A and B are shown apart, each in its own frame.
Chain A
């Protein structure tokens, strides 16, 4: 008969076993080569298989900078076109993704499958995106001729196509104004400003202070929203009518009289309201974000794209009913020149994605009629897809009709410059314009400094030569 051992585990034995267990666990965790159970390969995954039906059980990661898609994103999946193109594929939206989170994910080799509202050009210029020409060639939905040319071309970098225009595209410039505030200031909403000088006169009338000299409302912050965004066209350069960067040669054209004049003229709007006052106004919740002060009726005019009427109508219908749009201002020597611009957003797919053809299908889906209708209804955005734009209702939101007309009437329609250091240019622009409107620097000196800094950065970032 065996005698049962009365003795428990010894300390040494405990340590030995723990060590073995830990080592085994460590090895198991590290062994990436160990084959893992994989879902069965599907037809949609073969290279160039864009037209093949989608596979089941796959989740695509879609990271976007916006928060606007979140409330209705799941409605996409109920649309017949989604089922047709993507089957049971789940597209998982990660909204409001900060740029640094995206870049870190890409740098560490774990990017999402695709992204939108991201630093497209940074990604394109640095070779982390999948070129899409072949997939477009095999697509029955995505055809170059169906898209607004400027939008389509801006999806390319150095001749290669990386972005499929989607969700929010169309045109970028219009001077929107609040007719109630304009009338209250004794101005005629039927006769809006055409030049910067006229806009400045309106600004003076619409900027209000209390008895103690505190700012209550402003007429126009020319640097708010599209007025100050470099990446979406750089309105100052569009207004004064010059190209600030040449993608072919990598040359900057910022040290010129027009840029200096733009600094000076646009800065005057700040001088009138007071730079400290505007900085204070901008730091208040609801007035600091893109266009927020217009919706809060603290700003009577704003330079914005076509989305402004729809977004305002959805977010603040009581303000939207007074919204009207006209041509954004130009300098006196270009009086009468009607300036419009294209730009917008894309679906870009990462080279390291394991589901490139499937991700492309999602880009296709976003350019189907019912997906575009849903986006237009929920957030007021328009794509670059011409057949949809031609069928969309321009009177859906107050002020939108003007944008539709502007496409036909514009004298100049340009897309954004393709500069790979746009974030730096934007930051430098912000700094120098502040130096000018705070009278720390002359406009001419600011323009010269702008040129100098951009050229140096372009070189230091490794793009020159």
Chain B
């Protein structure tokens, strides 16, 4: 019988451990103070009636019950957010992938187009909002001025409840610079030998794209899709600046409603409950994506 003997650290090992901990301690302190503490606080607040200015009063699950039973806006907010995420995240990935594929070909002025496509990723959101407002406004926007000039009716992109969400998705698809760069790196990493073998086998461009490029990019597609989902669920700045949640609540997304409860209505407890529900929703979507990924994501180094 083998007896387990705990490893006793030597003096120098202990010293190294202490040194390591000391070096990492600023990060650890920051992580505990600025991440873990607020996270746990918000969990506690979600079970309280807390208005920021007075002491929290424990109310059990009331905030959660209110959201799922009596809050008339919660359903609208969930619908808006799911609409935006389920359409926006995949379309964002498609848009980024297509842009990257385009830039991976031998087109003229490739560096220029790379810069142009990446540009939205580095522009502050407020600037993006002003530019799109200038383009899409129903009365004074450049797009509608063009339509007017052609004698066509104008389109209330951002002021019609039916069009506001699709318009925001369109803007989201445009702002895919980061995802595009990741895709571009992936595409450039696909082994040339695969394309050469396919050419020898008589494959055309579409076959190569469908049977080589896409499968080889699936790990990054999964990554960008997950990031898109997470980003989409937390989307706040652009709709807040462009539509303020309107018209008629059409762009009242989850994060906007959370903010409204926290700072307009002083319902920080309810806002914390909203945050934790959002956390669970994001976890569920991420797990679903990971679970289904075995069917469609190809990892080259994976054993059978």
User: Are A and B co-members of a single complex?
Assistant: yes
Q: Footprint of B on A, CB under 8 Å?
A: 12, 15, 19, 99-100, 103-104, 106-107, 122-123, 126-128, 210, 212-215, 275-277, 279-281, 283-284, 421, 423-424, 427, 431, 434-435, 438, 440, 449, 453, 456-457, 460-462
B62, B153, B246, B260: the one within 8 Å of A213 (CB)? B153
Q: Are A283 and B137 in contact (CB under 8 A)?
A: yes
Contact indicator B247/A453 (Cβ below 8 Å): no
Contact of B248 among A280, A423, A438, A457 (CB under 8 A): A438
Pick from B49, B53, B138, B270: contact of A106, CB below 8 A: B53
Chain A residues lying within 8 Å of B62, measured Cβ to Cβ, are 460
Pick from B31-39, B156-164, B189-197, B209-217 the stretch touching chain A: B156-164
On whether the beta carbons of B138 and A280 are closer than 8 Å, the reply is yes
- Residue pair B246, A15 in contact (C-beta under 8 Å): no
Could you tell me if B264 and A423 are in contact, using CB atoms closer than 8 angstroms?
A: yes
Distance from A440 Cβ to chain B, minimum over Cβ atoms (Å): 7
* Complex interface residues of chain B between 109 and 140 (CB less than 8 A to chain A): 133, 137-140
B46 to chain A, nearest CB (A): 14
B139 touches A424 (CB 8 A): no
Most buried by A among B19, B57, B66, B248: B248
The answer to whether A212 touches B151, judged by C-beta atoms less than 8 angstroms apart, is yes
B290 in contact (CB, < 8 A): no
Contacts A126-B54, A460-B62 supplied; 12 other A-B pairs, CB < 8 Å: A104-B52, A126-B51, A127-B54, A128-B53, A214-B144, A279-B158, A284-B133, A431-B248, A431-B249, A440-B248, A460-B270, A461-B267
Number of interface residues of B (CB under 8 A): 43
With the chains together, A277 CA to B156 CA distance in Å?
8
Complex Cα gap A438–B54 (Å):
39
Contacts of A100 in B (CB 8 A): 262-263
- Let me know if B52 and A280 touch, CB within 8 A: no
Query: In whole angstroms, what is the CA distance A423 to B264 when docked?
Result: 6
A280 touches B158 (CB 8 A): yes
Indicate if the CB atoms of A424 and B265 lie closer than 8 Å.
yes
Say whether chain A's binding surface is mostly helix, strand, loop, or mixed.
Answer: helix
Is the pair B138, A277 in contact by a Cβ cutoff of 8 Å?
yes
Which residue in chain A gives the minimum CB-CB distance to B51?
Answer: A126
Q: Bound state CA distance, A277 and B158, in angstroms?
A: 10
Are B247 and A434 interface neighbours, CB within 8 A?
A: yes
Count chain B CB atoms within 10 A of each CB in A19, A128, A280 and give the residue with the most: A280
Cα-based distance from A277 to B133 in the complex (angstroms)? 14
Q: Judge if B70 is at the interface, Cβ distance under 8 Å.
A: yes
Chain B: residues with CB nearer than 8 A to chain A? 15, 19, 22, 49, 51-54, 57, 62, 66, 70, 72-73, 133, 137-140, 144, 148, 151, 153-154, 156, 158-161, 242-243, 246-249, 260, 262-267, 270
Do A15 and B267 touch across chains, with their CB atoms under 8 A apart?
A: no
Instruction: Determine the chain B residues whose CB is within 8 A of the CB of A461 once the complex forms.
Output: 49, 51, 265-267
Given contacts A15-B19, A434-B248, A440-B248, contact A276 B54 (CB under 8 A): no
What would be 13 A-B contacts, judged by CB atoms less than 8 Å apart?
Answer: A15-B19, A19-B22, A107-B52, A126-B266, A127-B54, A212-B151, A214-B138, A214-B148, A275-B247, A276-B138, A276-B247, A284-B133, A462-B57
Query: How many whole Å from A120's CB to the nearest CB in chain B?
Result: 13
B137 contacts A15, CB within 8 Å?
no
Q: A19-B22, A126-B54, A215-B139 known; A276 and B159 CB under 8 Å?
A: yes
Question: Nearest chain A CB to B69's CB is how many angstroms away?
Answer: 10
Inter-chain contacts of A284 with B (CB < 8 A): 133, 137, 139-140
* Closest A residue to B57 using CB positions: A462
Q: Which A residues touch B70, using CB under 8 A? A: 456
